[in-house]
Structure 1
Amino acid sequence: MSHFLHIVELDGIGGMKELSYEELPKSVPKEGRLWVHLDRGMESAQPWLASLEDLPSSVVDALFAEETRPRVDHIGDGLLLTLRGVNLNPNSSPTDMVSLRIWVTPHFIITMRRRRLLSIQDIFSELKQGTGPLSTSDILTRLTKTLTVRMSGTIDTLEDKLMDLEESMGEGIELSQRALLVEKRLETVRLRRFLIPQKEAIAKLSVDHSGLFTEEQLVDIRETVNDLTRYLESLESLRERSLFMQEEFVNLQSERMNARMYVLSLLSGIFLPLSFLTGLFGINIGGMPGVDNGMSFWYFCIALVVLGGVQYLMMKKSRWF
């Protein structure tokens, strides 16, 4: 069945046994350690889950919900989780985060995705090598850790790009920098949008008293919460830096525009009286002085030059230049 990506029985010592579709149970297992990983995009996945005895219908509805955000809820005999991981698929933006839906009991875990998650592939590879999780709760613990660890590279890359942008803005502002700044700011916002509820969900998981987790696993989950807290602090710092850079960009643009307007104002201040005089002496009516004198034009030009020079000296003395 194409919607079953992995059907494995954990052996409890780090390895696994792959099962066929025909070996799947008809009801939620009460013993053993079964892991079923599904592709949510396949239409045949939902009927199989709906036919599984002892699986609450609310779990099926939650696993196939269109819109999700990170959450942890107790439903039936297990835990329902929705987590997010960075999108490291080719030609994809890492901040376009991939949803992973999970329902787990002491003997059974269902994971469901629509797009490929490397964290799932990592755990499956460990099981093949005999160094994988020992139980369903161990799978969940490792998933929370690997999903979180993979975020560090994306956040570090985002920080490096913003740092490079800061340095380039110090040398001069280009229009392309503004577009890049907006893009990186949006990436920061997207990451924070999902990491905040994900931290809350995993923090809720770290104080779970259902007996599903061992004390060692709870310690690992608390470390994951600490890592998420650190990532959120980094994202908050990046958000503030991007806001500061945006304000600096606007300020520098305003300063550049003000400098140009200042030069234009000075030129206008010099040429306004000169334009008035040329307009006045350019009227074609009788009585204009110097009409009969051939040197009047040159005298007038000299007067304009002197007037312009006097204006320039007065502005410079007043520190307008």
Structure 2
Amino acid sequence: MIRKIRRLAKVINKSSTRKKYYHQPGTAPGTIIVDENSQHPHIILIDYNQINLVHQEIIHPEDCSQYLDTESVSWVDVQGLGNRDILERLGQVFELHPLVLEDVVNMAERPKSEDYEDQLLIIARMVTPTHINEGFHSEQVSFVLGKHYLLTVQEEPEYDCFEGVRMRISKSKGIIRKQGSDYLAYALLDAVIDGFFPVLEIYGERIEELEEEVITNPTPQTLQKIYRIRRELLQLRRAIWPQRNVINSLIRDSSEIISDEVRIYLRDCYDHSIQVIDMVETYRELASGLMDVYLSAVSNKMNEIMKFLTVVSSIFIPLTFLAGIYGMNFNPEKSPFNMPELNAYWGYPLCLGAMAVIAGGLIFFFWRRGWLSNSVKVKD
């Protein structure tokens, strides 16, 4: 059984594909790695204040510069990382440090926050449910927060949890149009954290289905599902755990870019991250418990099957004994020991009747002890 579990774990690990972004040893700091399969960058600009709103797509990165020094809030959302030239030009427009641009573009960073005097770098991990409601999509989203602007960089635009924030800006709901860029960064971070809850809801339903399957009909496919859930929950834990520390550092650090009022809102975001961590840990414990229940269910099922086979064998053992005795072909005329039943007129039906009485008696005995009924249930 243990070997079978290990084989299933290896199959699951091999079947999962994961992009790897890394630098070769000796690569210079600030080197940008661009995946050839990434989508071409699309730059969406949302510039707003309490009265005016500008929402347009930017073709040339240099066109963003006219919005960066205004008193309005400028949100530049870069969707896609498939063009090195555009990314480098964006870095020049926003005057990004080479290490900042490297962290923003290379999609393998651990969630963190770093203060660069007049800019604040925040790297988070965003998860969204897949279309088949199994598993989730995880990608890095980077924030470069300035005094009056916010630059966000996403890897794949089709997986996005920012639509609610865009609707609030376009319809002027809440206080987002009255606040600065730091409040916009909070709103997006809060959307990232809240994006974990729909994913966890799906995992809760999957675990409930697996509980019923483990108890009623455990199969090797059930074991594979349990391993997959445990592995995916571990990935969720790795995504949310460091983000709690990021939000905590934003609350406690004395960065001039984030106001005291926004820090109060970040406390609520921090509470949500703690809530997500608690749910992830709970589901991980349930998944581990399902593994123990699966092993117990398989062991009990095997014991019941062995009990049933033992009952059947016990019934046929005396019958085989009688058949073996009377199946010995010794010639009574040449042997001093005589088997009188061999020549009896009613010998054959009497032997069959004795076998039927013995079998019936054993079946009645096993039924009174409750062994036969339990075995029949397992058989079904």
Secondary structure, counterpart of 1:265 in structure 2:
helix
* Counterpart mapping for 1:127-206 below 5 A: 127-131=169-173, 132-133=176-177, 134-163=179-208, 166=211, 168=212, 172-173=216-217, 175=219, 184-206=229-251
- How many residues align structurally? 317
Question: Residue in 2 aligned with 1:214?
Answer: 259
CA contact (8 A) 1:15 1:128 kept: no
Q: Does 1:299 align with 2:350?
A: yes
Closer, same or farther: CA 319–177 of 1 in aligned 2, 3 Å: closer
Q: CA deviation at 1:309?
A: 5.0
Closer, same or farther: CA 299–8 of 1 in aligned 2, 3 Å: closer
Pick from 71, 78, 96: which aligns with 2:137? Answer: 96
Closer, same or farther: CA 317–122 of 1 in aligned 2, 3 Å: closer
Q: CA deviation at 1:65?
A: 1.0
State the Cα deviation string for residues 4-38 of structure 1 (Å, max 9, x = none): 43124443x37543575353339x95665443211
- Partner Cα separation in structure 2 for residue 267 and residue 53 of structure 1: 81
CA contact (8 A) 1:71 1:83 kept: yes
Secondary structure, counterpart of 2:245 in structure 1:
helix
Aligned amino acid, residue 302 of structure 2: M
- Partner Cα separation in structure 2 for residue 205 and residue 224 of structure 1: 11
Closer, same or farther: CA 302–121 of 1 in aligned 2, 3 Å: closer
State the Cα deviation string for residues 86-126 of structure 1 (Å, max 9, x = none): 32565575622232112222244221112235443333333
- Partner Cα separation in structure 1 for residue 133 and residue 223 of structure 2: 22
Question: Residue in 1 aligned with 2:54?
Answer: 17
Q: CA deviation at 1:173?
A: 3.5
Secondary structure, counterpart of 1:41 in structure 2:
coil
CA contact (8 A) 1:173 1:249 kept: no
Q: TM-score, length-normalised on structure 2?
A: 0.70
Q: Does 1:63 align with 2:104?
A: yes
Question: Residue in 2 aligned with 1:3?
Answer: 41
- Partner Cα separation in structure 2 for residue 260 and residue 108 of structure 1: 69
* Counterpart mapping for 1:73-84 below 5 A: 73-75=114-116, 77-84=118-125
Q: CA deviation at 1:141?
A: 0.8
- Partner Cα separation in structure 2 for residue 62 and residue 14 of structure 1: 35
Q: CA deviation at 1:52?
A: 4.0
CA contact (8 A) 1:87 1:94 kept: no
- Partner Cα separation in structure 1 for residue 122 and residue 116 of structure 2: 10
Q: Does 1:40 align with 2:80?
A: yes
- Partner Cα separation in structure 2 for residue 79 and residue 60 of structure 1: 12
Q: CA deviation at 1:183?
A: 5.3
Deviates more, 1:141-150 or 1:269-278: 269-278
- Partner Cα separation in structure 2 for residue 177 and residue 24 of structure 1: 53
Question: Residue in 2 aligned with 1:123?
Answer: 165
- Partner Cα separation in structure 2 for residue 307 and residue 129 of structure 1: 86
Percent of aligned pairs with the same amino acid: 17
State the Cα deviation string for residues 267-302 of structure 1 (Å, max 9, x = none): 212322322332343233434724444433233323
CA contact (8 A) 2:125 2:192 kept: yes
Secondary structure, counterpart of 1:61 in structure 2:
helix
Q: Does 1:272 align with 2:317?
A: yes
Aligned amino acid, residue 230 of structure 1: Q
Q: TM-score, length-normalised on structure 1?
A: 0.81
State the Cα deviation string for residues 154-180 of structure 1 (Å, max 9, x = none): 3234334544655x4598336576666
- Partner Cα separation in structure 1 for residue 209 and residue 319 of structure 2: 50
- Partner Cα separation in structure 1 for residue 163 and residue 145 of structure 2: 18
- Partner Cα separation in structure 1 for residue 93 and residue 364 of structure 2: 93
- Partner Cα separation in structure 2 for residue 272 and residue 75 of structure 1: 85
CA contact (8 A) 1:14 1:127 kept: no
CA contact (8 A) 2:251 2:266 kept: yes
- Partner Cα separation in structure 2 for residue 88 and residue 266 of structure 1: 51
Secondary structure, counterpart of 2:136 in structure 1:
coil
| Unpaired stretches in structure 2, ≥5 consecutive residues | 1-39, 333-337, 373-380
- Partner Cα separation in structure 2 for residue 263 and residue 54 of structure 1: 77
- Partner Cα separation in structure 1 for residue 369 and residue 55 of structure 2: 88
Deviates more, 1:52-61 or 1:225-234: 52-61
Deviates more, 1:290-299 or 1:178-187: 178-187
Aligned amino acid, residue 274 of structure 1: L
Deviates more, 1:221-230 or 1:190-199: 190-199
Aligned amino acid, residue 126 of structure 1: R
Q: CA deviation at 1:195?
A: 1.2
- Partner Cα separation in structure 2 for residue 177 and residue 54 of structure 1: 53
- Partner Cα separation in structure 2 for residue 173 and residue 123 of structure 1: 45
Secondary structure, counterpart of 2:75 in structure 1:
strand
Question: Residue in 1 aligned with 2:296?
Answer: 251
